[in-house]
Amino acid sequence: MMAVLMGLALGLAGYTLGAPLAAARSSPTVAAPIQLTLIADDVQRRVQRVRQRLAVSPGPLTLHYPQWIPGHHAPTGPINQIAGLQFSGNGQPLAWQRDPLDVYAFQLTIPEGVSTLEIAFDYLSPTASDQGRVAMTPNLLAVQWHRVLLYPKGADTARLPVAATLCVPQGWQAASALRGVRRGNCEVYTPVPLMTLIDSPVYAGRHLARFPLDAGKTQPVMLHVVAEQAALLQPADAVLAAHKALVAEADVLFGQRPYAHYDFLLALSDTFSGIGLEHAQSSENGMHEGYLQGEGPIADNDLLAHEYVHAWIGKAWRPAGSFSPHYNAAQDNRGLWIYEGLTQYWALVLAARSGLWSQEQALARLAQLQGQFAAQPGNRWRSLADTQYQGIIDFNDKPQAWADWQRGFDFYDAAILLWLEVDSRLRTLSAGQRDLDGFTARFFAGGVHGDIRRFDPEALVAALEQYQAGDWSPWLAQRLHAVDGQRPPGLAAAGWELVWSTTPNAMVRDAETDGSTDLQHALGIKLDADGRIDWVGWDSPAAAAGLARDVQVVAVNDLAFSRARLKAALGDAAAAGEPLSLLVRQADSYRSLAIDYRGGLRYPQLRRIAGQPDLLTPILRPQR
């Protein structure tokens, strides 16, 4: 990879900043629209009825159910959640069979005299999270169109028009980047290409409120919120102001907006599954019920910032391997350290600049990341670049038994430290004349709604070299592909260092409000409110003593478990120089064990490095 990066960097001398390779403009639609009706009013049983009509010609026909879903970076189309599939023509049923080598493909033969194919099936929205994403409750509904349609195999979805209608329970309202008219309890949307439809989800609910985030702009941004109760839709002034500031700070960073309008879709529910998924002109977001009132937890307060940044990075500008003209071709995830990693960096920065996080909370978040990745054993065998394939590897979306040893979706959070180092290095090399703000504004410039500008990761590296000479190709290749077990140097490059304290930082304090216990940097465990271990560090004292995930801590030093007793026992063990005694339960077995750890409580904090310039504070400071 290092040689490839260097070679392509040399071969892209004619590359122009702000115009990443060729733009892929959607071609005019040419076919008769597919008629798609989704009846989603059975919210108690969570059943959605699908009816489709499409023009056909006699002969063999293969229809696909979407498999590779944009933004998922993996083949996650929930084909297991459909039932009752039927095809018919001229009122007569048509036989079908599944392609044995492609289970997302349905094969049938259209008889002579049939010009319209009718399709009917039910989409069975999960009733609990162990079945998948809960996106339907008695008060809320999220529609992702890829779940409720079939399309002709191999079709160019940018040219295949669809006329969609969504019917919701009586009295409900709906929000989407789609436009159309309301007829009774149905939203009849203006026909759009299938690519646009799948990129335009709908949120609907019994209780819905809309908040303009930039009054007076020609490319308006709206926050649409659905909630389980109407009272949850009243935002605190500071919270609404932070969301408005997010839009304004993104304008300062990126400049031109790459959309005609933008619609944040936000669901507030403790039942509806949390989500963050980007789209060209909207995003799907799921947060806890007290979010608009400024209540915790705060760890995900950068969610809307992340999805909004994707309007530029990932949607209008996309690594070439992440693009396909349809949804049943494998994707190349090589560019996710940019698509998701750079987005995650800017999400943290914009959350701090806008007030979605306080400066203290942003620093605590960075301290958590530095502490996590400085001690991660998984980077002794698995590179950051390799984690880009985690979505495909982790096909069942289940928790990992040894997360820091296996490594997971590190191309999100570990990349924050990588891009912080890039930002700091730009500022240092240029004596403060250039920074990642400036590079981002230049590379992701000139977006026009309807374009998808595709670029190879190597092109971005070449553009970085043009922006500020720094031998970036081998420098980045080493960091992406290293398996040396070294701690990431991002914070040190910015003039800060990791230190340890017996006092929890702002992120730990917030996380522990649910009764959980975070001792990952001491014993090497995290526990829920009942004492069940839900994370164990591979190289930790806890693992050395024989503890693993899902073991229940029953007693601490012969007293029934509580968080206060466990933390106090750590302090006692440090003072007395004696091991900690635990009684634990694993399935039906109990055992006593001693953990030879005497370091006391230990939480990550950040501290300025004496004598070095502070580059981090200017990065996090509001720019308006």
Mean pLDDT along residues 157-172 = 97
pLDDT at 496: 97
What is the Cα 406 distance to its own chain's centre? 20
Tokens encoding 182: 């309301």
Same domain as 98, residue 36: yes
Tokens encoding 469: 């000479």
Mean pLDDT along residues 502-516 = 95
Task: Tell me whether residue 181 is in a domain.
Answer: yes
Same domain as 293, residue 408: no
Containing H/E element for 244? helix 237-254
Query: pLDDT tens across 456-470, in order?
Result: 999 999 999 999 999
pLDDT at 82 over 70: yes
The residue out of 494, 513, 536 marking a domain boundary is 494
Same domain as 323, residue 469: yes
CATH of the domain at 165: 2.60.40.3650
C-alpha angle 52-54-55 in degrees, rounded to nearest 5: 165
Query: Do the bridges between strand 116-124 and strand 82-89 make them parallel or antiparallel, or are there none, so unpaired?
Result: antiparallel
pLDDT confidence bin for 451, thresholds 50/70/90: confident
Query: pLDDT tens across 266-321, in order?
Result: 999 999 888 999 999 999 999 999 999 999 899 999 999 999 999 999 999 999 99
Q: Are 336 and 311 in contact, with CB atoms under 8 Å apart?
A: no
Task: Tell me whether residue 86 is in a domain.
Answer: yes
Same domain as 405, residue 276: no
First to last CA, the chain: 39
| Distance in angstroms (rounded) separating the CA atoms of residues 78 and 121 | 14
Q: Are 465 and 473 in contact, with CB atoms under 8 Å apart?
A: yes
Q: Say what the alpha-carbon torsion angle 517, 521, 524, 530 is, to the nearest 10 degrees.
A: 0
| Distance in angstroms (rounded) separating the CA atoms of residues 555 and 120 | 56
Question: Which range of residues forms the domain containing residue 127?
Answer: 31-191
Rg (CA), the chain: 26
Q: List the alpha helices (DSSP H) in 310-407.
A: 336-339, 341-354, 359-374, 390-393, 403-406
CATH of the domain at 533: 2.30.42.10
Q: Is the bond preceding 297 in cis, omega lying within 30 degrees of 0?
A: yes
Q: Is the dihedral of CA 164, 170, 176, 181 positive or negative?
A: positive
Q: Which amino acid is at 465?
A: E
Closest CA to 416 of 276, 616, 622: 616
- Sorted by sequence, the CB contacts under 8 Å of residue 610 that are 6+ apart come out as none
Task: Tell me whether residue 499 is in a domain.
Answer: no
Query: pLDDT tens across 365-386, in order?
Result: 999 999 999 888 999 999 999 9
Same domain as 565, residue 480: no
DSSP-based three-state secondary structure for 444: coil
In 428-501, beta strands by DSSP E: 451-455, 496-501
C-alpha angle 189-191-197 in degrees, rounded to nearest 5: 80
Containing H/E element for 199? none
User: What's the structural domain count of the chain?
Assistant: 4
Same domain as 131, residue 12: no
Residue 477, phi then psi, degrees to nearest 5? -60, -40
C-alpha angle 52-275-387 in degrees, rounded to nearest 5: 105
CATH of the domain at 239: 1.10.390.10
In 372-477, beta strands by DSSP E: 451-455
Q: Are 9 and 461 in contact, with CB atoms under 8 Å apart?
A: yes
Task: Tell me whether residue 368 is in a domain.
Answer: yes
Same domain as 410, residue 326: yes
Same domain as 479, residue 366: yes
pLDDT at 427: 97
Task: Tell me whether residue 234 is in a domain.
Answer: yes
Query: pLDDT tens across 520-551, in order?
Result: 999 999 999 999 999 999 999 999 999 999 99
Residue 133 per-residue DSSP state: -
Query: pLDDT tens across 35-45, in order?
Result: 999 999 999 99
The residue out of 281, 310, 339 marking a domain boundary is 310
Q: Is the dihedral of CA 411, 412, 414, 420 positive or negative?
A: positive
Task: Tell me whether residue 243 is in a domain.
Answer: yes
Same domain as 216, residue 163: no
Same domain as 213, residue 187: no
pLDDT confidence bin for 397, thresholds 50/70/90: confident
| Distance in angstroms (rounded) separating the CA atoms of residues 157 and 325 | 6
Task: Tell me whether residue 239 is in a domain.
Answer: yes
pLDDT over 90 percentage in the chain: 88
Same domain as 175, residue 67: yes
Token pair 């947060």 is found at 287
The residue out of 270, 293, 310 marking a domain boundary is 310
Same domain as 206, residue 75: no
pLDDT at 13 over 60: no
Token pair 């295949």 is found at 160
Task: Tell me whether residue 376 is in a domain.
Answer: yes
Listed range (6-20, 130-144, 344-358) with the worst mean pLDDT: 6-20
DSSP-based three-state secondary structure for 265: strand
Token pair 């203290």 is found at 360
